[in-house]
């Protein structure tokens, strides 16, 4: 996919400038948040598997991660337009990176799904960029640091809450988010595909994120 | 670095994470995120959402041999070399752009030095060294300019920018950054178009200076 000239339109550039205060509509109607019963247990399990891979090179745990994530990674890659065979190859690549980079996984800052998503996303990006995406420096944790179980659990709970919030979005909002997070689409191309004006798409993405964030902060302040 | 007050706009962080920014901007953003807990948290929040979307995706059928193929590969897997670390005032993404070497400054006149790290169709990336109290020549630029302070500070019409801060300047901003008094200011600057200096260097000479 050619991304040449992706920042050439004035609208595209303006999108990166800080917006005037109040320009983002905050008047959004909050759907009554159903008291969704969220159990983080399932996902904590995924994080435990990844920790077992990280700390003990546990192949059974790795197999479980594969069984959950590989078919979903393939779905993500197919969405972005890869052909079946290529998607299979990239899934292999990504899962191999999960094995190789497990030492970099920090459960205090990410759930397994977020960490694996980022590896996959960056791999997906590298496929169409001429150069690898520059990545931030890794945070160096002190060697002696003990794992903080409460923090790890809180992370899992927030992620579970995030998924619950996702299920509360309208199908259009969810689809716009999928476009932004799973496909290789700069925002300016979303409108071409869905036929929606850019402003609508952008506000839809922001609306989705704002809603998700508020749900998250509700959880924190509880 | 706890006193960062000028951050990367959210939209731009998102575009960075989506891989849709020109390389020079992506390096500046990766460098800022290396120094800034707030922006790192934003990037990781985005990843949490990506992870949630991934988890909720309907699974696609895999090739029958996929699992076995991967497990066979584990036996011969060679872990990639560890990524470069930061050094001094230069976070890892800047060290990466410097190819692990200390900067090789070129004099620009007036005590100002620069090293061009890249200059191509995606724009330019350079390190700038501005002596204390010295002004960077007034300039405008055809596109967007991102400047990350690595050491010292500068001030212009938009405010004061200290170590870790990023200034995002659009093409309509005619600004004249002046380095602070605390010492030389070192910045990482990226543009998606060549700079046009108002004075000091005639337009015709710009290709020579590659600015
Ligand atoms: Zn920041």
User: Does pLDDT of B1 surpass 90?
Assistant: no
What does the angle CA A170 – CA A173 – CA A179 come to, to the nearest 5 degrees? 140
Average confidence (pLDDT) over B33-53: 87
- What's the mean pLDDT when you consider all of chain B? 85
Confidence band for B148, pLDDT divided at 50, 70 and 90: very high
What pTM does this model have?
0.79
Q: Which pLDDT belongs to residue A105?
A: 92
pLDDT greater at residue B26 or residue A11: B26
The partner residue sitting opposite A70, judged by closest CB among B62, B96, B192, is B62
Q: How many domains does chain B have?
A: 1
Helix residue spans in B57-193 (DSSP H): 66-76, 92-97
Chosen for mutation from A4, A11, A16, A169 (greatest number of chain B CBs closer than 10 Å) is A16
Q: What is the CATH number of the domain that holds B7?
A: 2.60.120.10
Chosen for mutation from B60, B77, B117, B170 (greatest number of chain A CBs closer than 10 Å) is B60
Q: Which residues of A111-121 are buried (b: 16+ CB within 10 A; e: fewer)?
A: bbbbbbbbbbb
The CATH number given to A10-168 is 1.10.1740.10
- Phi and psi of B120, rounded to 5°? -160, -160
CA distance B113 to A19: 33
Give me the residues paired with residue B191 across strands.
B124, B145
Give me the residues paired with residue B113 across strands.
B107, B129
Helix (H, G, I), strand (E, B), or coil: what is residue B88? coil
> With contacts defined as CB-CB under 8 Å, which chain A residues touch B120?
none
> With contacts defined as CB-CB under 8 Å, which chain A residues touch B22?
7
pLDDT greater at residue B2 or residue B67: B67
Question: Given the structure tokens 């998250």, which residue do they identify?
Answer: A216
pLDDT greater at residue B24 or residue A142: B24
A10 CB within 8 Å of a chain B CB: no
Q: Which pLDDT belongs to residue A33?
A: 37
CA distance A88 to A85: 5
- The secondary structure element, H or E, covering residue B159 is strand B159-162
Blockwise average pLDDT, block size 10, chain A, 222 residues: 38 41 34 40 79 95 97 94 91 96 88 94 83 87 70 76 79 82 62 54 61 60 48
Structure tokens at A114: 């977020």
Cβ(A40)–Cβ(B171) under 8 Å? no
Average confidence (pLDDT) over B106-113: 90
Q: Where are the domains of chain A?
A: 10-168
> With contacts defined as CB-CB under 8 Å, which chain B residues touch A118?
47, 50-51
> With contacts defined as CB-CB under 8 Å, which chain B residues touch A182?
50, 53-54, 57
Q: Which pLDDT belongs to residue B150?
A: 98
Query: Which structural domain, as residue segments, surrounds residue B126?
Result: 1-211
């Amino acid at each position: 996919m050619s991304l040449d000239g992706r920042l050439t339109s004035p609208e595209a550039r303006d999108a990166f400038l800080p917006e005037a205060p109040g320009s983002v509509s905050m008047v959004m109607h909050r759907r009554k948040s159903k008291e969704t019963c969220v159990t983080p247990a399932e996902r904590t399990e995924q994080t435990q598997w990844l920790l077992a891979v990280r700390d003990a090179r546990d192949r059974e745990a790795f197999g479980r991660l594969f069984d959950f994530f590989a078919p979903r990674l393939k779905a993500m890659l197919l969405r972005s337009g890869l052909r079946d065979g290529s998607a299979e190859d990239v899934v292999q690549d990504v899962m191999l990176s999960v094995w190789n980079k497990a030492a970099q996984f920090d459960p205090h800052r990410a759930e397994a799904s977020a960490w694996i998503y980022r590896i996959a996303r960056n791999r997906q990006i590298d496929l169409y960029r001429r150069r690898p995406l520059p990545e931030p420096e890794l945070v160096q944790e002190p060697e002696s640091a003990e794992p903080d179980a409460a923090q790890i659990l809180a992370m899992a709970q927030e992620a579970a809450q995030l998924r619950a919030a996702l299920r509360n979005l309208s199908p259009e909002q969810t689809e716009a988010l999928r476009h932004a997070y799973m496909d290789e689409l700069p925002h300016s191309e979303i409108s071409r595909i869905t036929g929606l004006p850019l402003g609508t798409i952008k506000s839809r993405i922001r609306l989705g994120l704002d809603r998700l964030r508020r749900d998250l902060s509700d959880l924190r302040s509880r | 670095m706890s006193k960062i007050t000028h951050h990367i706009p959210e939209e731009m962080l998102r575009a960075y994470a989506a891989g849709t920014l020109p390389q020079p901007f992506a390096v500046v953003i990766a460098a800022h995120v290396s120094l800034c807990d707030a922006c790192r948290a934003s990037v990781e929040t985005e990843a949490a959402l990506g992870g949630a979307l991934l988890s909720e995706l309907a699974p696609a059928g895999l090739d029958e041999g996929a699992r076995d193929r991967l497990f066979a590969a584990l036996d011969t897997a060679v872990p990639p070399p560890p990524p470069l670390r930061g050094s001094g005032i230069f976070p890892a993404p800047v060290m990466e752009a410097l190819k692990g070497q200390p900067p090789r400054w070129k004099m620009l006149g007036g005590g100002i030095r620069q090293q061009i790290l890249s200059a191509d169709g995606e724009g330019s990336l350079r390190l700038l060294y501005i002596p204390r109290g010295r002004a960077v020549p007034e300039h405008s630029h055809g596109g967007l300019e991102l400047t990350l302070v690595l050491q010292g500070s500068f001030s212009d019409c938009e405010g004061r920018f200290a170590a870790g801060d990023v200034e995002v300047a659009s093409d309509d901003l005619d600004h004249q950054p002046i380095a602070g008094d605390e010492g030389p200011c070192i910045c990482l600057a990226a543009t998606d178009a060549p700079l046009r200096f108002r004075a000091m260097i005639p337009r015709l000479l710009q290709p020579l200076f590659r600015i």
